[in-house]
Structure 1
Amino acid sequence: MIDPVILQQGSDWRAQAEVFDEIFFVFLALGTLVGTIVVAYTLWNVYKYRDDGNRSDEEFDAPVVGELPTGQGGPKAKKLFLSFGLSAIVVISLVVYAYGLLLYVEDGPDTGDEGDIEIMVEGYQYGWAYEYPNGHTERGELIVPADQRIDLNITSRDVWHNFGSSDLRIKSDAIPGDHSETWFAVSSEDVEAQGGEATYRVECFELCGPGHSQMKSQITVLPQDEWEEWYAGTGNSSASANVQTPGAGVTAPSGVSA
């Protein structure tokens, strides 16, 4: 249903946005199917049991309010318990399916220590600062590579904020003195579809003051080789040492909080 993002390490996994899109599609498709069946069956019964003036009161088996038919082989009981059984199967299946995917979204794919980039995100009135593993800091724009999991460690220097991007389906609190974590990834196919450089808007989803509506930023996703070239030139002598060949990933140097 969803094309997985192929990591440079060779394992298959999906980005958060793709997982949420799949959950939405499954619920939409199943809800439409069940709704169509229920409405069609209701209309059929309305037509079948309409009052055409030819049925006597003695022939009408009216239901009794508050009484559950026990059946004893009757058609009403069979329909009732069949509908209960099918409903239970559908609901339980959806809960198990969605819960498993949401656990995946919460924990993220298990790619090991190699290949992940952890970036510190600090909110302030009214903007965002991004600190990379080599100590380089960007304000207003988070630049990351495609086909790689990006871990975000989010906090705030002043008041409560909420870091999020609707397009990437990520949203996490930024609280002074506390840290929250989330992750995202963008495939190289999505980058190519946007002309070789994908951009996503970042907003604050927590009312944080008079400048809240202007607290916007941008995530820019570059192809892996272009990002490595940019990262190597961020002005820190340790940057080049932390940029690995494709598949090796980026790790934080010792002594730097990431």
Structure 2
Amino acid sequence: MVPFATVRGHGTVLHTGGGGLVPRGTRVQVFDSIFEVFLALGTLVGVVVLGYMVVKAYQYRAAADHDDGDVSRPVLGELPRGSEGGGKLFVSFGMSAIIVVSLVAWTYLTLLYVEDPGRSAADPDAIEVEVIGAQFSWTFVYPNGHRTNVLRAPAGTDVHLSVTSRDVFHNFGVPGLRVKSDAIPGQTTETWFVADEPGTYAAHCYELCGSGHSFMDTEVVIMEPDDYEAWYANTSASDGSTNASAANASGSDGPARLAATAGGVGA
């Protein structure tokens, strides 16, 4: 576990999805692609099922001008005549199974990309921030030791988050950026995001953590890269520590010790 890291640059590394089978890009782009695929397939299946139902309802309708000899009506407890011994049923179940299994496999491969903690960690231009949850607030620790209750990051840049807690279970989530990660005492979970453009997003705790759970909110401010560079250049460790002293706090209980001994939180 490495809760702190040195700054490795703030370059633009926004990736857009290519023409491959598994979508690539920001978390928002990937989850939008998943939604569109499920929506398209769901609509297609609905049209086919409802269309087949309407055709059969018309075929077996009861009307004065309808000749029962034209169709073989199904009999309860028997396979419909003309169904080729259940062949149509077998084909429909087989096709359904292939579609469902393919969709599950495709979604799994897509989520492997989204949940890969090494995606941003291996990027030399990624920004690394530690997220510490505590009843009932969030603290963000930057590589230079600066601590703040508002997460700031540049647009179009990979942001790698190391999420932990110093008391009970929490869950850090930013719905607008499709980010969600557990905050567990004594452990660190990794996640990442890329914001397409500047703006302010709401972050919440999604794990019931006590009486103040509903108030455990904060802001994620996405800035222009130049503005972020200027802001970051004017920050420093809130307790006067350096990257070296912050790194010495790493370990199984490093985040908790550092959070407990911090002198204050900046803006």
Q: If the TM-score is normalised by the length of the shorter chain, which range does it land in?
A: 0.7 to 0.9
Give 2:55's aligned residue. 44
CA distances 1:12-51 after superposition (whole Å, capped 9, x unpaired): 5511122111101110111011101110110111011112
Q: Show the 5 A alignment for 1:1-258.
A: 8=12, 12=16, 13-52=24-63, 55=67, 60-63=72-75, 65=77, 75=84, 77-107=86-116, 110=119, 112-139=122-149, 141-187=150-196, 190-191=197-198, 198-235=199-236
Paired AA for residue 133 in structure 1: P
Structure 1 pair 14/113, CA: closer, same or farther in 2 (3 Å)? closer
The answer on whether the counterparts of 1:121 and 1:131 sit within 8 Å (CA) in structure 2 is yes
| Deviation (angstroms), 1:84 | 2.9
| C-alpha separation in 2, matches of 1:132 and 1:83 | 55
Greater RCO, CA 8 A, separation 6+:
2
| C-alpha separation in 1, matches of 2:116 and 2:63 | 61
The answer on whether the counterparts of 1:203 and 1:217 sit within 8 Å (CA) in structure 2 is yes
Identical aligned pairs, as a percentage? 45
Structure 1 stretches lacking a partner, 5+ long: 1-6, 192-197, 237-241, 243-252
The answer on whether the counterparts of 1:134 and 1:256 sit within 8 Å (CA) in structure 2 is no
| Deviation (angstroms), 1:55 | 4.3
Cα RMSD for the two superposed structures = 3.1
The answer on whether the counterparts of 1:135 and 1:256 sit within 8 Å (CA) in structure 2 is no
| C-alpha separation in 1, matches of 2:29 and 2:15 | 16
| C-alpha separation in 2, matches of 1:131 and 1:215 | 17
| Deviation (angstroms), 1:80 | 2.7
Paired AA for residue 92 in structure 1: V
The answer on whether the counterparts of 2:117 and 2:190 sit within 8 Å (CA) in structure 1 is no
Structure 1 pair 48/202, CA: closer, same or farther in 2 (3 Å)? same
Paired AA for residue 132 in structure 1: Y
The answer on whether the counterparts of 2:14 and 2:157 sit within 8 Å (CA) in structure 1 is no
Structure 1 pair 173/59, CA: closer, same or farther in 2 (3 Å)? closer
CA distances 1:139-198 after superposition (whole Å, capped 9, x unpaired): 2x10011111111111111111111111111111111112111111112xx32xxxxxx1
Give 1:246's aligned residue. none
How does the TM-score come out when normalised to structure 1?
Answer: 0.76
Structure 2 stretches lacking a partner, 5+ long: 1-10, 17-23, 238-242, 256-267
| C-alpha separation in 2, matches of 1:146 and 1:230 | 14
